[in-house]
Amino acid sequence: MGLPWDFHAIGGDGVSIDLLCDDDFEALYELQSDPDVCRYMLYEPRSRERVAEVLARDAAATRLEKVGDYVQPAIRDASGALVGTLYFHLTSVDDRTAEIGWALLAREQGKGYARTAAALLLDAAFGEIGLHRVYAELDPRNEASVALCLRLGMRHEAHFVEHMWSKGEWTDTGQYAVLEREWRR
């Protein structure tokens, strides 16, 4: 138990998380080129070439050991099809802290996939990975993401005003977090 942690597939009730693979390309392109999905993401809609680069890069990111390491697993439905992705980024080893993020295909939103997948990852985070705190950062205008944080039992901890220049405007950032002991409750 603990760090370093090598990613492995985690299965749940009709939802699993697993590493990205080449077969995910078309669904990942649908996700990352969709202007609505990207509205509150840090990146602009991506080209096919850029998605191919990102897929190769993220499929190879499998170990959490040092600050900056991340995994970006696929969220899969019962058939194994990609419905979205999670992002899990080790931001402190000393403080055993990570950042979590999520994105679902527009046609797969509103079905509980993000919540179920994030809960699987948080179980691992506070179980086998041995973390103390996991947080999410978001644009407070992103109501679906705020609602997901609250459904996961994350606490609203901060609101940074005009914290970041993003997509041509000063943008606020909200931070939500949950501790290991809170998740266990």
Q: Which stretch binds ligand COA (CB under 6 A): 1-9, 90-98, 101-109, 119-127?
A: 101-109
Q: Smallest gap, in angstroms, from Cβ of residue 94 to ligand COA? A: 25
13 or 65: whose CB is closer to ligand COA?
13
Q: Is 86 among the residues that bind ligand COA (CB under 6 A)?
A: no
Cα 22 to Cα 35: distance, rounded to the nearest angstrom: 23
Site string for ligand COA, 106-125 (x = CB under 6 A): ---xxxxxxx----------
Residue nearest to ligand COA (CB): 112
Sign, Cα dihedral of 133, 139, 140, 143: negative
Give buried/exposed letters for 132-149 (b at 16+ CB in 10 A, else e). ebbbbbbbbeeeebbebb
Q: Which of 17, 20, 27, 41 binds ligand COA (CB under 6 A)?
A: 41
- Strands (E) in 32-122, as ranges, are 63-64, 70-71, 74-76, 82-92, 97-104
The answer to whether 172 and 140 are in contact (CB under 8 A) is yes
Q: Smallest gap, in angstroms, from Cβ of residue 24 to ligand COA? A: 16
Q: Smallest gap, in angstroms, from Cβ of residue 85 to ligand COA? A: 9
Residue 106 one-letter amino acid: A
- The token duo for 85 is 């992705």
33 or 109: whose CB is closer to ligand COA?
109
**Of residues 130-159, those binding ligand COA (CB under 6 A):** 138, 142, 144-145, 147-148, 151
Q: Is 102 among the residues that bind ligand COA (CB under 6 A)?
A: yes
Residue 47 one-letter amino acid: S
Size, binding site for ligand COA by CB under 6 A: 21
Q: φ, ψ for residue 163 (rounded to 5)? A: -80, -25
- The token duo for 12 is 């749940």
Q: ω into residue 4 within 30 of 0, thus cis?
A: yes
Q: φ, ψ for residue 46 (rounded to 5)? A: -100, 150
Q: Which stretch binds ligand COA (CB under 6 A): 35-43, 45-53, 63-71, 125-133?
A: 35-43
Can you give the binding site for ligand COA, defined by CB under 6 A? Answer: 37, 40-41, 101-104, 109-115, 138, 142, 144-145, 147-148, 151
